[in-house]
Every structure is written in structure tokens, then in C-alpha cells.
Copies of this chain bind each other. A is one copy, B any other.
Amino acid sequence: MPERQPHDLAGPAEGQDGVLSDEDIYARLYTAIARQQLPPGTRLREDEIRQIFGVSRARIRTVFSRLAHTGIVTLEPNRGASVTRPSVKEAREVFAARRAIEGTIAREAVQHATKRDIARMRDHLMRERDADNRRDRTGMIRLSGEFHLLIAEIADNELLRRFLADLITRESLVILTYEQPGRPSCSNHEHEHILEAFARGDAEGAAKLMIEHLDAIEERLDFGDRQRSEIDLATILRGSAES
């Protein structure tokens, strides 16, 4: 897993007179991490980021502090910032937190959903299928997360939507850290079942399917396998030293 460098974070200037606001910078870094462009462990050096965005270091420190507060960036005193490498415990907490809220979000969203919302969901799944057919992995990851956020948007609670956005971003780091090659984490077949529950107005069904979907994502990761293989290697290496 090579660490990618944050070279292309700067884009068209969004603020007044071409100056990026702290919020803009935060959003850029956040999005890059959410889209797995900056994998876990990527060093984020203040001076480099400040040059990329053309601002002073103090601005970057502020942004880093906020990113750290959401848990997607880790600050080490005197050593700087890096994209968070989630531990197994953290990973499991992210999934548990998602299960805790996404069932309820789905239920609320079904009760709020208009015909237009359902059409948006359909359109979204078509785009997921397109990306899947094109083997556009980055696009799939983005669209998968966005499907969940679309549901949260339909549920119409900004606090929950933002909390979920953070959880999804943290989960994208989990996926990069613990994913098994060739085994996609988020299935658009499962998304389609959820959409069907929405279309028939089945709030409890949607909630149940959502939780099962999240269970399935978690199962596709390999926390357990990784720990076992580490123990085996250590045993083997100790054995060969003693014989």
C-alpha cells in the first residue's frame, strides 16, 4: 500500500480574490481522504500543504486541528499530522456506530421520502452500476458513500448527516486498511434491495436491510485473518531461531 502524496489538492480558487478560506481547505483535504486519494498513514506536512494552497502555516494548523477532531487525521505532538490508520477497535466502533444510526436514518428517510427522492436514489444506483461496469473503483467508493449520505439527506437531519459523513470517511480508511483484495466492500445489489424497500414505503424493512448491509460490509473485511497470520509468523520465526 504505497502512500500517495498530496500534490493535487489545490484547484480553482473558491474564495474572494482567489483566496481559499479555512473551510475550503478543510473540505479539500476531507474530500481527498474520503475518496481514498490520501491513504492511511500519509504524512501531511504543514509546510507542504501550506505551499499547495498558498496560505500561511497557521491556517493549515487550524484545519489540521479540526480534521483531527473528526478522527480522520491523527496529530502526534512534535511529529505532525498524518491520515489516520484505524485500529481494529476503532474500525469496529465505526461499524457499530453506523449500525446504531443508519437503521434509524433509513426509517426516518422512508417516512420523509417523496417520489422525487426515490427517483434520485434510482438515478444514483444507475451511476453506481455504470461505475461498477467500468471497473471505476474510486468512483464506486465515492458513489457508495454518497448513496448512504443521500438517504441521510432525505431523512433531513443535518446533525446526523454530518456525523454519518464523518463515519463514512473513517470507514473508507478502515476499508483501505483491512480490505481483502478483489472483494468489494459495498455491494450495489444490497443498495438495490434498500431502494426497493424505500419504493414500497417499508420503513422497517429499509432499516433492517440497511443494518444487514452494514453487517455484510464489516464481514467482508479481514480483521481476524490479519491478526491470526501475524501470530503465526511470530511463532514460526521464534521456532526457527531455537532449532
Q: Name A's B-contacting residues (CB within 8 A).
A: 22, 58, 61-62, 65-66, 69-71, 93-94, 96-97, 100-101, 103-105, 108, 157-160, 163, 167
Contacts and interface: CB of A to CB of B under 8 A. Distances in A.
Query: Could you say which of A66, A71, A103, A108 has the most chain B C-beta atoms within 10 Å of its C-beta?
Result: A66
Contact of A65 (B65, B96, B163): B65
B101 A100 contact: yes
B94 A159 contact: yes
Contact of A105 (B94, B100, B158): B100
A57 to B, nearest CB: 10
Contacts of A96: 108, 157, 159-160
B93 A158 contact: yes
Contact of A97 (B22, B70, B159): B159
A105 B99 CA distance: 11
Contacts of A167: 159
A156 to B, nearest CB: 9
Contact of A108 (B71, B100, B103, B108): B100
Contact of A157 (B65, B70, B71, B100): B100
A94 B159 CA distance: 7
The 5 closest A-B pairs by CB, nearest first: A97-B159, A100-B104, A62-B65, A66-B69, A96-B157
A159 to B, nearest CB: 4
Given A100-B157, A100-B160, 19 more contacts: A58-B58, A61-B62, A62-B62, A62-B65, A65-B65, A65-B66, A66-B66, A93-B159, A96-B159, A96-B160, A97-B157, A97-B159, A97-B160, A100-B101, A101-B101, A101-B104, A103-B104, A159-B167, A163-B163
Given A22-B65, A105-B100, A93 B163 contact: no
A140 B207 CA distance: 36
Nearest to A63: B65
Contacts of A104: 100-101, 103-104
A70 B22 CA distance: 16
7 contacts: A22-B65, A61-B62, A62-B65, A66-B69, A93-B159, A101-B104, A163-B163
A79 B149 CA distance: 33
Nearest to A62: B65
